[in-house]
Amino acid sequence: MKNIFIAVGGSGAKVAEALVRMLAVGFPTKFDQSGMPTSAGDDLQIWRLDPDRSSGAAQALQKAVDEYAFLLDSLSKGDAKSTWAMDIERNEKRQAVVRHLDPLASHEENQRVKTLRGILHSQGRALNGQMAKDASPFLSLFYDSKELDVEIDRGFYQKPFIGAPVMAIFAETLKDANSAGGRLCELSYLETQSVRFFLCGSLHGGTGACGVPVMSKFIGDHKKAKQSQLDWHLGGCLLAPYCLPPEPPFEQLQDAQRVAKEQDDHGFRAMVDEYLRRYGNVAPFNTLGNIQEKRELVRQILLGFYAQRTDMIERARNSLVYYKDYIASYFNALYLIGKPTPDPLTEWSNGGATQHNPINSAEVTAALAALNFFSGVHDREHQPQTYVIGSSTRTLGDEMFLRDLPEYSLSYDKGFVKIAPEKVFLATAAMRHLVTHQIPWVVDSQKWPPELKRLKEYYAAYPDNEDEDRMLYPRALKVITDSIGELLSPMKTLGWNGQDYGQLSLLLSDGRNEIEAVTEMIQTGLLSREAKGSLVLGNSEIRVSKKEFPEWCPPGKEFTRADYLRFVWWHLIHKAVANAAKA
């Protein structure tokens, strides 16, 4: 199955990053032929729809997919697909790919207009051999000059009415296979495939608020035009306010003052220069590349083209009404995620490379929605009149625990199986410790203790694999460890209570004291196979002993590193689930 995640705007890109990290951690989306939960065997494409080509969110997403590809390669043999997690799209050099869909890229090659006026104003352009009429009188009915002339190559500044016509024009170009967007989307090829599309963006922003409804309507109408011949399924996640941006370095102009200054263009330019002298050496101005970028940012703030935190809830409410009336019926499943008390951000930015927001617990929750959809639980045709709203299982404070995350479902021939995220994180961290520190990689395998009989036999039969495994297991497990940190560490994320990561740190540490502490927990009595202690994370628990773990090897004579890690993980997650059933 081909899974396509369409990340719209900065929030969508952060959810895509969280999704990739969670796949690296081992979150499953299906059962393989042996009944083992995995995501391997499916393919993932990521489309990023955003006019902001240089955004910090795009850079973080690319870093995540690069590390994910490195993980899969470290666990695979040759060019075979990894059995640890679903494959991600690569280019001819085997590099991981994010498809960047730029709504400002026109039908013509290399043409990129930065303003709404430049995109919509047709004066002087030839149309079928004749000069087109001047569109200015019509544009002035809907937009002020400042809205038509602001540069929108860093987003739509939480003003979806600016981005909506841009997105609509872009969607039309996708019908042409020779357009910039058409070549990237390859719709004619996808028409022959089984595809799950998942759109994600904010309700309260600019790019997400206009891009998600436009793209969902485009995909739905395209499928309808083919008279339901396409095996396409559409899911989506809408993000209500979950974080609050700080105020910019200075205030925007009041309406009367703004009008007066715009009428005196020279006076307004002088004001911009004065603010530039006062603020040009403070963040985020001091990170911009040239004086023109700094001047444009001053102009944006003065004219109010930035995220207005006081308007976020009202914009989200209006967007939801629009979805209910016009858009929701296009989806097989539509998820809504937000927070009663949004998390405050500490650094102000107006897009571009200076905007580096950490992953938020709400974005991890949204990634779980994507995993649920990619598992196929909504592949049947949707029922537009069905409307279900769920909420958290308890009253949330300012910080979340892993136990607060919703479970998601894997489908199989007899029904559904629930996956608890807390147990996945515990199983993966336990697997990381066992493979890293309970196998004596520093000595020759034939000198290993008798408990590791199965692995000793494997390396005796395939001695060339031993040195390679000794080198590549640590590389792969480091990516998994780093991914857990990027998702949960209080030093790198927002919205989590640090207790969960503190418990996981015991299993993720390479410190001598921590290794000895875990080793003591998994020790057994002289005549017992039962571990002395349990590995605990929140409400989840795994009891595994040093006598059990060495017996876990995949069936067959030869297996890959991915096969081995997934097999060990499967036993651990099974123990976590069984322990919960006993309780």
Give residue 127's pLDDT.
Answer: 47
Which helix (DSSP H) or strand (DSSP E) does residue 542 occupy? strand 540-542
Question: For residue 187, which of 175, 173, 195 has the smallest C-alpha distance?
Answer: 175
DSSP string, 258-317: HHHHHHSHHHHHHHHHHHHHHHTTSTTGGGSSSHHHHHHHHHHHHTT-S--GGGHHHHHH
Cis status, amide bond into 284, omega within 30 of 0: yes
**Please, what are the domains in the chain?**
2-112+156-247+308-402 (3.40.50.1440), 255-302 (no CATH), 421-582 (no CATH)
Give residue 107's pLDDT.
Answer: 46
Give residue 53's pLDDT.
Answer: 80
Query: For residue 342, what are its two tokens?
Result: 């949004």
Give residue 123's pLDDT.
Answer: 40
- What 3-state class would DSSP assign to 537? strand
Tens-place pLDDT, residues 339-362:
988 999 888 888 877 788 999 999
Give residue 94's pLDDT.
Answer: 92
Give residue 391's pLDDT.
Answer: 56
- What 3-state class would DSSP assign to 474? helix
Give residue 309's pLDDT.
Answer: 82
Question: For residue 548, which of 427, 426, 434, 424 has the smallest C-alpha distance?
Answer: 434
Which helix (DSSP H) or strand (DSSP E) does residue 476 occupy? helix 464-488
DSSP state of 115: B
Tens-place pLDDT, residues 270-280:
899 999 999 98
Residue 162: how many CA atoms within 13 Å on its side-chain side? Answer: 28
Q: What is the Cα Rg of the chain in Å?
A: 26
Integer CA distances (angstroms), 580 to 117, 372, 500, 541, 549, in order: 60, 21, 18, 8, 20
526, 391 in Cβ contact below 8 A? no
Give residue 380's pLDDT.
Answer: 64
- What 3-state class would DSSP assign to 389? coil
Q: Which residues of the chain, if any, have pLDDT below 50?
A: 107, 109-110, 123-127
